[in-house]
Structure 1
Amino acid sequence: MAKIIPSSDIGVKINKWYELIRRFDSEQAEQLKQEIRTSLDSMEEDQNLLLYFSLMEFRHEVMLDYLKPLKEGKLRANFSELSKEIDEHQTHVTGMLEYYYHFFRGMYEFGRREYIAAISSYQKAEHKLSFVSDDIERAEFHFKMSEIYYHMKQTHISMHHAKLALDVYIQHELYALRTIQCEFIVAGNYDDMRRHEKALPHLERALARSRDFQNVRFIASSLFNMGNSYYRMGDLNRALDLMKESISLFDQNQSDHLRRSIDPLYTAAQILYKQGKNNEALYYREECMKRAEALQDDIHIQKTIFLEALYLRQDAEHIKRIFHFLESSYAYPDIEELALDTAKYYNEMEDYEKSSMFYGEAEHARIYIQRGDCLYEF
């Protein structure tokens, strides 16, 4: 008769597995995952522990989706199906498991760019944060909150959570990659506040640390974020060089899958159109579209169509339809940015009626961003 393994022993291993996941140690995490999976067959019956395993498997796949390039012909686990399986056991989720359920669900929704749904899940997790005593796990929560609020342009809330996370991560060398990510968010928030002189030191520090770790994924991301900062400062040539360097690293080193390279591709095309280099912009726009379609990333698809609608066809009605789609996805920060670009473009063309109309679109989006907290009341 096979020896029965106490569920408490497996619980300890799952905790260790999660520690490896949080440190992005994908190889050891995968080994331990397989070891735990084998042990489950000999475990005493414990539905809560099985649910804990399912939740951690979900989190493991989120890590892989972030870190690893997709191999040809290989698909990630179906997150929707896994989420549905967890939903079916919702009545058994209490305490720490309930925290993990909502926290990981928020990460999943964020990955799908469903930002409102992500915030809703994170806020539910926050109500269970009292069950979390581990400093690193609390830092993980604050990091994810800073990330989502940065994307929703809730700058000061994002900065608050980023500082809480960074204060913990800088004390633990094993979490250096999270420290770098916090630097990205702090810099992005400073850029949103138009304090670019405060953003660049964080990005330079992030780039230096990424090079110290020889982490190509983070080097490429650092270059993109620096390029984005120079772009917003109006230094288009410096920004374009950094975007091209970032794209080259993502592609040549296969350090990431398609999703990570979409942003520098899009921004490179945007810069080239602004410089009037339409022929050179075409490659980056088409490559961005190809990757966005492969990922079924509807927002980037629409943003890429926008480049053609504005810079090649000056089709104001099509641009308004794009904004209507983005509004249905609560992508107000994107609308604000694109509407301002459109307004400035028509202003330079001396079409002041259309310019005024799109300045109004930008102001409309800005009002929704400023009222953002109202969107999170469910």
Structure 2
Amino acid sequence: MKIASAEVAHLMTQWYTYIKESAIPQAIAIKDEIEHALKNMEEDEYLLVFFQLLDFRHKLLTEEFPESSEHSYEKIKNLEEDIKKTNDSLQYFHYFFSGQYHYYKKDFINAIRFYKFAEEKLKSIGKEIETAEFHYKIAVAYYYIKQNFFSLRHAETALDIFKAHEQEIYLTRKINCEMVLGANKFDLFRYNEAEAHYQKALADAQSIDNQSLTGKAYHNIGISYAERKLYEKAEEYLRKAISIPEHLSSRVGINSVSDLTRVLYKQGAKDEAHSFLQKGISMAQVADDGEYHAKFQLIKALYEDGDLQTVSNSLEYLESRMLWPDVEDFAQDIADYFKELKDDRNTVVYLEKVIHAKEQISKVTEELE
């Protein structure tokens, strides 16, 4: 007897919910159930295409971008012409998931381009929560290219929608929205407002005992102190962040180790900084993360080896990846380091790189228009 397509559609909706919640064991279990059901399902081309899109999104969650995820993306790209012949709903998910793929690859420009294509189809979904999910995702992408006003607008829209839903499963999204709002307001020098968002996020994360989000909140508070050169407070919160295993093993964990390493070097705690440097290098090697390998090599070359060639090469790598906010951040650190040494020539060289990075960031809006 054939399984009704409506029954399989219900399972797929639940699968997508687990994916959005990063509930990996549940997502894997229900995927197996769906794959079995598809073999016995009445014919439904829409659901077969939707399965391939969700399977791609599932891989983004579970496989940390090995070659299989890139292969899956190529399969989705090959489906594009077929998807264009379907309804707006499938087209929305195609563009939305493609945006997430580029976001996780740190190709933020293309991520936003795909999100904007998705936005044109968003009304077809007709679900308020999916609308909030969209606005949250694009807000984060805009933040990473320092388009703060765009990011704020989308984050505020997402938070307003999530606030209208009292279910606990949406509290994690509210917490994430608070952190995005805090990060943007910090960049806009609205420090008191940023602190309020971060502290609310921290309190809410602790209230539901969500260790991963608690660590993320500590991380954000820590880097907000580091940016203001309040290094003792920065160290306190970054240590709290990396003391939480769920945070340390997350995508943000290596960032906390990098930031703490820099903070310790700036305070002159070279032995302890070296220990965290080695930890970070090891984490980057295990993750095969070229970005953080370059960052830790830059930190080592600057603060330990005085190897200006490696400093330059590492910064050039970040430039080649068009990670302009990171280039600006590290170039400013390098300029500050040489200023302390009264090395005026190198101070000027790296301040010029700061200016160049800022100019590249400002060009992003033009590229997206």
TM-score by structure 1 length? 0.90
8 Å CA contact 2:56–2:76 kept in 1: the answer is: no
Deviation at 1:319, TM superposition (A): 2.4
CA deviations 1:208-255 (Å, max 9, x no partner) are: 1111111111111111111111212221111111111211112xxx56
| Letter aligned with residue 164 of structure 2 | Q
Q: Rate the CA distance shift 1:195–1:361 in 2: closer, same or farther, 3 A.
A: same
Match of 1:149 in 2: 142
Q: Please, which moves more after superposition, 52-61 or 210-219?
A: 52-61
Match of 2:69 in 1: 79
| Letter aligned with residue 360 of structure 2 | Y
Match of 2:236 in 1: 241
Deviation at 1:46, TM superposition (A): 2.5
Q: Please, which moves more after superposition, 278-287 or 14-23?
A: 14-23
Q: Rate the CA distance shift 1:256–1:134 in 2: closer, same or farther, 3 A.
A: farther
| Letter aligned with residue 261 of structure 1 | G
8 Å CA contact 1:310–1:319 kept in 2: the answer is: yes
Q: Please, which moves more after superposition, 85-94 or 56-65?
A: 56-65
Size of the aligned set, in residue pairs, is: 364
- 1:1-378 matches, cutoff 5 A: 3-64=1-62, 78-94=68-84, 95-172=88-165, 173=167, 174-250=169-245, 254=246, 257=249, 259-376=251-368
Q: Please, which moves more after superposition, 307-316 or 327-336?
A: 307-316
| Letter aligned with residue 44 of structure 1 | E
Moved over 6 A (4+): none
Calculate percent identity across the aligned residue pairs: 30
**SS at 1:185 equivalent:** helix
CA deviations 1:143-196 (Å, max 9, x no partner) are: 011111111111111111100111111122331101111111111111211222
Find the aligned partners of 2:19 and 2:279 in 1 and give their Cα distance.
32
Q: Rate the CA distance shift 1:18–1:77 in 2: closer, same or farther, 3 A.
A: farther
| Letter aligned with residue 275 of structure 2 | Y
Find the aligned partners of 2:248 and 2:6 in 1 and give their Cα distance.
36
Find the aligned partners of 1:255 and 1:264 in 2 and give their Cα distance.
9
Q: Rate the CA distance shift 1:362–1:256 in 2: closer, same or farther, 3 A.
A: closer
| Letter aligned with residue 11 of structure 1 | A
| Letter aligned with residue 333 of structure 1 | P
Find the aligned partners of 1:356 and 1:77 in 2 and give their Cα distance.
42
| Letter aligned with residue 5 of structure 1 | I
Deviation at 1:102, TM superposition (A): 1.4
Find the aligned partners of 2:132 and 2:351 in 1 and give their Cα distance.
39
| Letter aligned with residue 151 of structure 1 | Y
Q: What are structure 1's unaligned runs of at least 5 residues?
A: 67-74
Deviation at 1:297, TM superposition (A): 1.5
Q: What are structure 2's unaligned runs of at least 5 residues?
A: none
8 Å CA contact 1:135–1:168 kept in 2: the answer is: yes
Match of 1:72 in 2: none
Match of 1:69 in 2: none
Find the aligned partners of 1:77 and 1:299 in 2 and give their Cα distance.
17
| Letter aligned with residue 85 of structure 1 | K
Find the aligned partners of 1:32 and 1:317 in 2 and give their Cα distance.
51
8 Å CA contact 1:226–1:239 kept in 2: the answer is: yes
| Letter aligned with residue 72 of structure 2 | L
CA deviations 1:96-141 (Å, max 9, x no partner) are: 1111111112112211222223222222222322322111111111
| Letter aligned with residue 153 of structure 1 | K
Find the aligned partners of 1:267 and 1:32 in 2 and give their Cα distance.
38
TM-score by structure 2 length? 0.92
Deviation at 1:326, TM superposition (A): 1.3
Find the aligned partners of 1:255 and 1:222 in 2 and give their Cα distance.
10
| Letter aligned with residue 257 of structure 2 | L
Deviation at 1:29, TM superposition (A): 3.9
Q: Rate the CA distance shift 1:132–1:34 in 2: closer, same or farther, 3 A.
A: same
**SS at 2:243 equivalent:** helix
